[in-house]
Structure 1
Amino acid sequence: MQWKVGVAVAAMLAAPAGARELDTRLQAALACTKVTDAAERLACFDRAMVPLQQAAQTGALDARSLGPQARVGTISAVRGLGVDSYVIALENGDRWQLFIEGREREPKIGGTATARRGAIGSWWIDIDKGSTFRAKFLGPPQRRAGG
């Protein structure tokens, strides 16, 4: 399980600055890099790794917990999900479920989706500055076994 935590931290370090909102557990671990005293830095990492390891073991540290790769993206796929929502995929791999609550227009491939945080961890997606949907971040596409 420790390798999963290491991979997650490495992926976050490799991301361009400002491209992704960091999980608070990762923020705590990254803050340790600024501690100059070696013993204090090690103690900081030891403390920060406990919640990261727990999250990795329970499955709470996954693509959705890491957040979207970007706040703005181009829609590459759209599909209806029942009568009250759509699932969109962005060119960067992020997937979102959009909830129909009024007269929102169907999102179109090639459109621009802009995500913004709402209250209490909610998300909103503006499509081409025309329709606004309550949204749920689904993470990147799921990889299928054997492929």
Structure 2
Amino acid sequence: MNRKEILKNVRNISESITKQLGFELVDLEYVKEFGSYFLRVYIDKLGGVTLDDCREVSELLGKKLDEEDLIKVAYYLEVSSPGLDRPLKTDNDLRRNLNKDIEIKLYKALNNKKMYEGMLSDFNEKEVIIIEDDDNQVKIPRDYISIIKLKIVF
């Protein structure tokens, strides 16, 4: 089984388990680093994720993955929250972060700018809409967008 097939099957299993436990599966990574394989599972829920939440998902997912025996090499299973600085990739990510401040980097300039900051006001399949600090509404085509992240303010 190739890497893509492994990820697809692991995603199906992970989505089932996380949903059953009341979490959202945010992302998966299956990577080789420094000679070791890592399966990283990122989960979230309203109000955030605790260490006990990660442990619970890890235990159930680990048992199920061992039963299914999809990954034929030794690997480390890591379950964690996605972190504050992670990219917002899916509609669920955007929905969860409506009315929050975000940063958007673009592949190509829009109105002579390749970086926008503002409050995430709305989105659809074609565009992301933000309100800048000066109350200016900007509609950014999704195919212009390189990355969207939460704006972290300390």
**TM-score (structure 1 length as normaliser):** 0.32
Larger fraction in strand: 2
**TM-score (structure 2 length as normaliser):** 0.31
